[in-house]
Structure 1
């Protein structure tokens, strides 16, 4: 997702960290070394924190002196932060296996893999005061909660919307059929997100258009359902001009007219609109896939108190507003919208809109739709299928 600048930041940073400081002053035991159990209390800050993040999630002023929410955290906690960025969820999962990082910003196509591998620990959200303000529709979800235990702090969210050229589509398409069953009409000018998780977009479409397949959740596909989604994507492949994962490439493709319809993000539309390009986005009748990222704590972290402080810091209204605006997504609370002027464009806090989003969730063998009479396909099967689709 793209990074976008915001002017928000100020004194509330200190207030957010102060609330954690009060907790740590009262704690006598250290979090983090509880053998898979969430911490019960916090202790003294350890003085350092290694952060693994999407680009734009942990800015320290080195890219832009005016964009910095790491330095205030360091000043208020004494935790010196080092940041490593990653480009894909697969890269994040592999990097977390090294044990070199204390916290990670995990998208839903990575979070359950991290939990299953034992690389992250349960988080006691009562030790992060700002969790109280997080939107309810981001709490206790399949991608951040396992067996009733929370595994981190929701950060920001967004939908993978349908973008279209208004020169080609005078009226907004109402269905994803324009990129699936009807994609041959726009052959060579259709785009799709380049990731195995995009299989869920096809599955979501099939939920509505081939109900006999019995798909109830696009991330819970048995072998037959996965095969149907793969077949649909192979048909689509013949009409794809370019798959994209770099937002700059999609911006360029829509600007030149090489692409006229496909999956996109609201922030990309904002950029194109600001440059006068004739595009628009819509949420089709089938709904959309999307993301809700979670800050998670490494299971073997040596800086658990700094890690808890970071989770609370990044969820504080003004910091969350700045970070999510810079990245280009909706914030995690209404309080954050007090520091942003574009929340309406991102449908922030709109529960009805959010209910139409199928947030990225790691496919696993245990069917998350509740079925117990069949095994579902896991992410490795999706990865193999995606390679087959692309050829």
Structure 2
């Protein structure tokens, strides 16, 4: 009886190990992505699944703070590939939430444009690979503002826009950067005194009767399309996508890059430090870097490709403004600064004050 009990216990233990092993083996056939919403062509996912005989599981976030919070809450071991914007890359590296790339597993890395191959936010591109890039700018109703200046004054100067509703972006660094640029301090300002002046401008702007609120990207475009606001801040690719889908509604809606300067952003692909399937993650990143796949991705989501090999296959609309800024506008673009430590804490305090007062 005792021997039988022992045998049964061993059998149960072995059975458990076999089940665990089977689950682990099954899990090896899955890739977990954590991405912005509506930022991937489903056909690309299907093509990857077919080629590698795996299942891709996608989860989504709506903001970078949300992404970082989930990584810190255990997501670092739940996701294989994440898609943070450039100014979050150094934070993720410094906090140990991401791992270095094994470039020997990324033969398509040579397809990356030179300007993205050694970025300031990730020297040597040791941790990140560019996914898409674009700009932030002002979208506005040309019927309401037929002579709109190419300037942030359309939002910040009550004499230029005395009575028309408008919105600013809910991303604190974009709105603070815009205020800094308008004040002549540069979009990429980091001087504490400049930040304080920008925060005061934002507070003054926020208390104007025509201020509609802090509204991000696509929702801002929807508001301007419905006439809720007449000017707002959005992204060039979002604007183009909405315009392509609703040409009549966007006949009198334009996108501008203010001459005082604005954001050039790069969304990247990174592998969390404890990713369950790092080898498959490298396969996926290399897949996205393929010339044909890179072009297919941009043609689907209407943003600029950092893939030089993809350029011949891009739709014509992606080779001209607003997706590709003019040479003059390129001179007005800056990366959003990556803030850490005391600098980040001070910024967050100022932004919290702007939002709460």
TM-score per shorter chain, which class?
0.7 to 0.9
Match of 2:206 among 237, 246, 267: 237
Summarize the alignment of residues 1-391 of structure 1 with structure 2, pairs less than 5 Å apart: 47-59=29-41, 67-97=42-72, 98=74, 99-143=77-121, 145-146=122-123, 148=124, 150-182=126-158, 185-187=161-163, 189-198=165-174, 199-206=176-183, 209=184, 218=188, 221-239=190-208, 240-245=211-216, 247=218, 249-270=219-240, 271-272=242-243, 274-277=247-250, 278-341=252-315, 342-343=317-318, 344-348=320-324, 353-365=329-341, 377-378=343-344, 380-391=345-356
* d(CA) in 1 for partners of 2:327, 2:94: 29
Identify the residue that residue 22 of structure 2 maps to in structure 1: none
Post-superposition Cα deviations, 1:101-156, rounded to whole Å, max 9, x if no partner, equal 1110111242222111101012244532222122222232233x14x452111010
Question: Take 1:325 and 1:90, find their aligned partners in 2: how far apart are those partners?
Answer: 28
Q: Which residue of 1 aligns with 2:19?
A: none
Q: How far, CA to CA, are the matches of 1:350 and 1:336 in structure 2?
A: 20
Cα–Cα, structure 1 residues 142 and 338, in superposed 2: closer, same or farther, change >3 Å? Answer: same
Larger radius of gyration: 2
Matched residues in 1 for 2:299 and 2:260: separation? 27
**TM-score with structure 2 setting the length:** 0.79
Secondary structure of residue in 2 paired with 1:291? strand
Counterparts of 1:263 and 1:130, CA distance in 2: 35
Deviations 1:258-297 (A, max 9, x none): 3222312223433246133311112221221132101001
Considering only aligned residues, what root-mean-square deviation do their CA atoms show, in Å?
Answer: 2.7
Q: C-alpha separation between the residues in 2 aligned to 1:189 and 1:303?
A: 48
Alpha carbons of structure 1 residues 117 and 351: separation in structure 2 relative to 1, 3 Å: farther
Greater share of helix residues, 1 or 2? 2
Residues 84 and 383 (structure 1 numbering): CA distance in 2 closer, same or farther, change over 3 Å?
same
Q: CA-to-partner distance for each residue in 1:320-371, whole Å, 9 max, x for gaps?
A: 2233333331112243233332212444496764453223343224xxxxxx
Report the Cα distance in structure 2 between the residues aligned to 1:349 and 1:138, rounded to whole angstroms: 16
Unpaired segments of 5 or more residues in structure 2? 1-26
Q: Distance in 2 between matches of 1:204 and 1:55?
A: 29
Preserved contact between residue 178 and residue 261 of structure 2 (Cα < 8 Å) = no
Kindly indicate whether the alpha-carbon contact (under 8 Å) linking 1:334 and 1:349 is maintained by their aligned counterparts in 2. no
Q: Matched residues in 1 for 2:201 and 2:45: separation?
A: 44
Decide whether the 8 Å contact of 2:237 with 2:323 is kept in 1.
no
**Structure 1 unpaired stretches of 5+:** 1-44, 60-66, 366-375
2: CA distance between counterparts of 1:131 and 1:331? 14
TM-score (norm 1): 0.73
CA contact (8 A) 2:85 2:267 kept: yes
- SS of aligned partner of 1:274: coil
Q: How many residue pairs align between the two structures?
A: 318
CA contact (8 A) 1:105 1:293 kept: yes
- After superposition, the Cα gap between the structure-2 partners of 1:310 and 1:286, relative to the gap in structure 1 and judged at 3 Å, is same
Instruction: Sort the Cα spacing of 1:309 and 1:347 in 2 relative to 1 into closer, same or farther, 3 A.
Output: same
